[in-house]
Amino acid sequence: EIDSFPEDFLWGAASAAYQIEGAWNEDGKGPSIWDEFSKIEGKTFEGTNGEVAVDHYHRYKEDISYMKEMGLKAYRFSVAWSRVIPDGEGEINEKGLDFYENLVDELIKNGIEPVLTLYHWDMPQALQDKYGGWESREVIPAFEKYCEALFLRLRDKVKYWVTMNEQNVFTSLGYRWAAHPPAVTDLKRMYAANHVVNLANATAISLFHQLVPKGLIGPSYGYGPIYPLTADPSDVLAAENAEAFNNDWTLDVYCRGTYPKFVMKQLEHLGIAPQVTAEDSRLLTSATPDFLGINYYHGGTVQQNRIEKPENQSSTEKNFSKTDPYLMQPKEEQAMSPEVPMFNGIENPYLEKTKWGWEIDPVGFRVALRRIQSRYDLPVFVTENGLGAIDVLTEDKKIHDDYRIDYLNEHLVEMKKAIADGVEVIGYCAWSFTDLLSWLNGYKKRYGFVYVDRDEHDEKTLERIPKDSFYWYQQVIKENGEN
């Protein structure tokens, strides 16, 4: 039947190391940029951090027992680089590798397919200090060594691998909005870092294809389709421009090995383009992902820019407001942005928003999947999608999160339509399995199917309590999405 989910569809849920593990300095783990960043006053929500997080490091067996109860087919997690190589490039810490092998064994024992993310934003602090992190090509061999250690240890057990999580988001939050480490506002450095991440991604994929021929690997990209505000051709052009800057800029490199010419020309004109050598181009075109991971939360809407370019632009640091990572929304104060004359982010009058101002747009999910299929023709793995909300525990210890069920259900309906449209989707990982640390919103903004009893600064009992959505998703999986 054309409009069903495939038999072996991977119904999953996702997480990331810093957001769940805790045990930040145990068993030889080195500090990551997030361990350090969260100590800087005023940087994270109420100064909250991941030192304990939801203590998954010590409770992974309990967490997996809930996954089994739910009937989960796949679980996406990330490896903390500084657990495996504490200073990022030196000695391998066997205890770090052991933890992830034990986790993988426990998943497999319970019939759950592990999906392993190599980089979910927690660069070893030592590499940030020594080389400037992703800004420097020196981190590429370090990343390769780290990947090799994991490929060799886990290649017989893990089939699905993700290289980079949302490079568009971590580079723009790190270098454009100064909201994530290294917390600067410098577009030249942002584009330089993007290029190095692309090279590291391609290096990891090449090595993987040599060492793990039976496995599948790809990056996870935070994708949101761009809409024009009106049918005014200038707004339509603005949307094309925004799509090129926001999405093609990264996805073309992943899937075709080339940067979009239009964006490159603009960056060259402004003197902020990355340096791409002939050897870089050879590497980028030679390493193609096996699938494209997509994290979908929402897209964005733009209109032609109506802001006059200010005279005497200055490149001095501006007080940028924290903004939505999924859409580069050039504002007046962003005088140095190449996007300023080309498009202007604007509210979509047709869409409702979450408490955190994220648009709720299930149809956009179908649009996203279709666009990816037609532009890149690669299988898609939905590696994140979910609703952040304030969940209230009732007196009898229940969470009635019907809002989350509605949100997820609407997205599944659209995903199913996209599959019927001809998009090859191999799996869907809801964000997230348990509640966990939201990078900038602490433990207030919850996403999990399983509630975790803790507050910003009070670890309380860390008890796990399945929410209503847990039982709903259990049923979805049981019926293979045919509800």
Subset of 271-330 contacting ligand BGP (CB under 6 A) = 295
Give the one residue of 56, 73, 366, 445 binding ligand BGP; rule: CB under 6 A.
Answer: 445
Return the percent helix, strand and coil in the chain, to nearest 5: 40, 15, 45
State yes or no: cis peptide before 219, omega within 30 of 0. no
116: amino acid identity, one letter: L
Give the one residue of 33, 74, 115, 169 binding ligand BGP; rule: CB under 6 A.
Answer: 169
Minimum distance from residue 24 beta carbon to ligand BGP (Å): 17
SS3 375: helix
Tokens encoding 331: 């504002």
d(CA 301, CA 295): 18
Subset of 53-82 contacting ligand BGP (CB under 6 A) = none
- With contact defined as beta carbons under 8 Å apart, do 238 and 230 qualify? no
Minimum distance from residue 431 beta carbon to ligand BGP (Å): 6
Sign of CA dihedral 116, 122, 123, 125: negative
Minimum distance from residue 137 beta carbon to ligand BGP (Å): 25
Of residues 133 and 257, the one with the C-beta less far from ligand BGP: 133
166 binds ligand BGP (CB under 6 A): yes
439 binds ligand BGP (CB under 6 A): yes
Minimum distance from residue 314 beta carbon to ligand BGP (Å): 31
Subset of 369-408 contacting ligand BGP (CB under 6 A) = 384, 388
Tokens encoding 479: 């019926």
Minimum distance from residue 205 beta carbon to ligand BGP (Å): 20
**CA-to-CA dists, residue 259 to 142, 379, 401, angstroms:** 25, 21, 42
- With contact defined as beta carbons under 8 Å apart, do 22 and 52 qualify? yes
Give the one residue of 119, 431, 443, 473 binding ligand BGP; rule: CB under 6 A.
Answer: 431
Q: Which stretch binds ligand BGP (CB under 6 A): 163-171, 210-218, 314-322, 335-343?
A: 163-171
Please identify the residue of the shown chain whose CB is closest to the bound ligand BGP.
438
Of residues 441 and 474, the one with the C-beta less far from ligand BGP: 441
Catalytic residue ranges: 384
Of residues 169 and 193, the one with the C-beta less far from ligand BGP: 169
d(CA 466, CA 356): 24
37 binds ligand BGP (CB under 6 A): no
Q: Which stretch binds ligand BGP (CB under 6 A): 33-41, 43-51, 81-89, 436-444?
A: 436-444
Of residues 257 and 388, the one with the C-beta less far from ligand BGP: 388
Minimum distance from residue 388 beta carbon to ligand BGP (Å): 4
d(CA 430, CA 446): 13
Of residues 179 and 272, the one with the C-beta less far from ligand BGP: 179
Between strands 292-295 and 216-222, the pairing is: parallel
- With contact defined as beta carbons under 8 Å apart, do 145 and 90 qualify? no
430 binds ligand BGP (CB under 6 A): no
165 binds ligand BGP (CB under 6 A): yes
**CA-to-CA dists, residue 292 to 3, 26, 194, angstroms:** 22, 34, 18
Give the one residue of 22, 174, 182, 222 binding ligand BGP; rule: CB under 6 A.
Answer: 222
Give the one residue of 10, 13, 16, 302 binding ligand BGP; rule: CB under 6 A.
Answer: 16
Q: Which residue has the tokens 């057990």?
A: 157
Minimum distance from residue 295 beta carbon to ligand BGP (Å): 6
Of residues 166 and 252, the one with the C-beta less far from ligand BGP: 166
305: amino acid identity, one letter: N
Of residues 225 and 338, the one with the C-beta less far from ligand BGP: 225
Q: What is the DSSP letter of 453?
A: -
d(CA 364, CA 345): 16
H-helix segments, 71-138: 81-84, 94-109, 125-131
Of residues 168 and 301, the one with the C-beta less far from ligand BGP: 168
Q: Which of 227, 262, 32 is nearest to 129 (CA)?
A: 32
Alpha carbon 224 to its chain centroid, in Å, reads 12
- Give how many residues touch ligand BGP by CB under 6 A: 14
Residues that bind ligand BGP (CB under 6 A): 16, 165-166, 169, 222, 295, 384, 388, 431, 438-441, 445
